[in-house]
Amino acid sequence: MNAAPKTPTHPLAGKTLSGAEIVVQVLADEGVTAIFGYSGGAILPTYDAVFRYNAEHRNADGSESMPLIVPANEQAAGFMAAGYARASGKVGVALVTSGPGATNTVTPVRDCMADSIPIVVICGQVPTAAIGSDGFQEAPISNIMSACAKHVFLVTDAKKLEATMRTAFEIARSGRPGPVVVDIPKDVQNWTGTFRGEGVLPVPGYRARLKAVADSTLDEAACARFHDMLSQSKRPLIYAGGGVINGEASQALRDFAHTFGIPVTTTLMGIGAYDTTEPLALHMLGMHGTAFANYATDDCDFLIAVGARFDDRVAGVPARFARSAKWIAHLDIDVAEINKVKRVHWHHVGELNPALKALLAYAQDRGFKPDYSEWHRHIAELKHQHALNYDRSSEAIQPHAVIEEINKATRGEAIVATGVGQHQMWAAQYFDFKQPRLWLTSGSMGTMGFGLPAAIGAAFAQPGKIVIDIDGDASIRMNLGELETATTYNLPVKVVVLNNNGDGMVKQWQRLFFESRYAGSDKSLHRKDFIKAAQADGYEFAERVTRKEDLARVVRDFIAFKGPAFLEVIIDPVASVYPMVGPGMSYDQMITGDWIPARAAPAATKSDKADLF
């Protein structure tokens, strides 16, 4: 009987390394190709170890194998790590110092938790003996982050540092992904000990839950119950969320939808899970989803939710969501999402790929070939009658037209990051996305300032791809310092600022619900010259468009420019995002504006105000 093959021993196993060197070696072992961070006293040993590692490990072209990218602030480092993770599917890494360096990453950590994005944030900390003494640049990071992150480690036993680092990556990427914070005191970084080259911490409860999910397969009885609903359905609809992308299940979803001809709508986070150029693609549903997607959701008789969580921006009034559905099925990796918002008739908790393949195989084995032609005609009519539209005759530049012009050039193949606000919704509505991981946006947290640093992170994750940040004049101000980061590293990131002189989404709500009282949202008196700011930060292409007739030409030049490029477009200051399902409204009360036909005039709602902003 042959012996089982031995696992290759790590080439550094048994070597004596410092804690900082161990951290860096684990990053290399995990396949990290870029680190985003800002230095400081408590993290200096690890920064020095990164420097020495890169001096010794070069790529064939002479470049560093694990470059350290320095942003203008630590929040941006976290968002760069998030952009890297979102664009690649790998774990992003941020490396920051103690105290304010670490607390500046609270927002991106929470943002990643809310959107299920895998990053590892490594923080320096005051020496172990000084913890709790209110030392210089000390903050109780394990306490602060525990409410925001998937998991937090405070390493006080240096011998467990290597295993802790490996476990951090395991937790970040496995199950429902999320951010993990590792807080490392300076004396632990300076400690020297034996590098093992393997090993993780014993986290039996977590691994048992992972195994239960991985082992959870659909048996014949469960497939039969699902098949019974599907075979009786005349108007099935797939509602796909970010879990499809995080679970790398886009192809399985597409195979299932294509085989049976089931239309697909996605959440904001699910954009790209299904090719938006497909005839059966309904694009995004929800508060600012397409009117035809929302009407189709109202009309379907079987709603199949895949990797989605019935978020308030989608479900709105849960009792009236998918109001004609006789059945609702829900597939998700997280049991906590089942029946949390909307009760369903069938559910499966497990990995999406095998589940979708099992449902497909079961139906095919029984010769299931449904005729949904009537439903397809209805969908086509909805898309024709309630298509996205805007004031195309206006003398002012409409933001929708800017997105359409860029989309002509990129054809659904560019990586698009956004800030948060109206520009985010216009981008979600008017861009095409043929593949997953092309759309990067702060969904659940809605964090202004996300777009530019996320685009920078994506540029490191996917070199060679066109990366565009669609931003607003208010949102980009939040992390405007990262313009210089893009030029410092000569990243061909394209930055678009749709300038409407203020917080456009807030102003839209103030027009609708607060009688146009622009409290704190009107920036028309501010004096920011974005073109001069971009030029000062090294942008050789920095253009402003104020006339409609110049838009197409400048956009072509902007996309064709090889290096970092900046484009500001002065847009109609009262352009609004429609459709809009207001707070307390259901889809049949959707406001479609002046340019998208509605089925019926929405009921007036004066009392709801901004309860669900």
Q: What is the pLDDT of residue 177?
A: 98
* pLDDT greater than 90 at residue 3: no
Q: How confident is the model at residue 607 (pLDDT cuts 50, 70, 90)?
A: very low
* pLDDT greater than 50 at residue 17: yes
* pLDDT greater than 60 at residue 611: no
Instruction: State the Cα–Cα distance between residues 311 and 419, nearest whole angstrom.
Output: 20
Q: What is the pLDDT of residue 600?
A: 74
Alpha helices (H) in 57-135, listed in sequence order: 74-88, 100-103, 106-115
Instruction: State the Cα–Cα distance between residues 381 and 385, nearest whole angstrom.
Output: 6
Catalytic site residues?
74, 136-137, 186, 505
Measured in whole angstroms, the distance separating CA 193 from the mean position of its chain's CA atoms is 39
Tell me the mean pLDDT in the region 287-307: 98
Per CATH, 16-203 and 399-570 having the same topology is answered yes
Q: What is the pLDDT of residue 434?
A: 98
Q: What is the pLDDT of residue 2?
A: 58
Rounded to the nearest 10 degrees, the angle between the axes of helix 161-173 and helix 19-29 is 30
pLDDT in tens, 202-252: 999 999 999 999 999 999 999 999 999 999 999 999 999 999 999 999 999
User: 58-67, 262-271, 519-528, 558-567: which has the minimum mean pLDDT?
Assistant: 519-528
Residue-by-residue DSSP string for 184-200: EEHHHHH-EEE--S---
Q: What is the pLDDT of residue 609?
A: 47
Q: What is the pLDDT of residue 604?
A: 47
pLDDT in tens, 141-181: 999 999 999 999 999 999 999 999 999 999 999 999 999 99
Q: What is the pLDDT of residue 24?
A: 98
Q: How confident is the model at residue 4 (pLDDT cuts 50, 70, 90)?
A: low
Q: What is the pLDDT of residue 1?
A: 47
Instruction: State the Cα–Cα distance between residues 394 and 347, nearest whole angstrom.
Output: 48
Nearest to 421 by CA among 398, 394, 454, 399: 399
When the pLDDT of each residue in the chain is averaged and rounded to a whole number, the result is 95
pLDDT in tens, 392-414: 999 999 999 999 999 999 999 99
CATH fold for the domain made of 216-385 = Rossmann fold (3.40.50)
* pLDDT greater than 70 at residue 492: yes
* pLDDT greater than 60 at residue 603: no
Give me the CATH code for the 399-570 domain, please.
3.40.50.970
Half-sphere exposure of 203 (CA within 13 A, CB side): 17
pLDDT in tens, 424-469: 999 999 999 999 999 999 999 999 999 999 999 999 999 999 999 9
Q: What is the pLDDT of residue 613?
A: 58
Instruction: State the Cα–Cα distance between residues 243 and 506, nearest whole angstrom.
Output: 29
Q: What is the pLDDT of residue 583?
A: 87
**Domain 16-203 homologous superfamily, CATH:** Thiamin diphosphate (ThDP)-binding fold, Pyr/PP domains (3.40.50.970)
Q: What is the pLDDT of residue 605?
A: 45
Instruction: State the Cα–Cα distance between residues 306 and 421, nearest whole angstrom.
Output: 26
Domain regions of the chain by residue span: 16-203, 216-385, 399-570
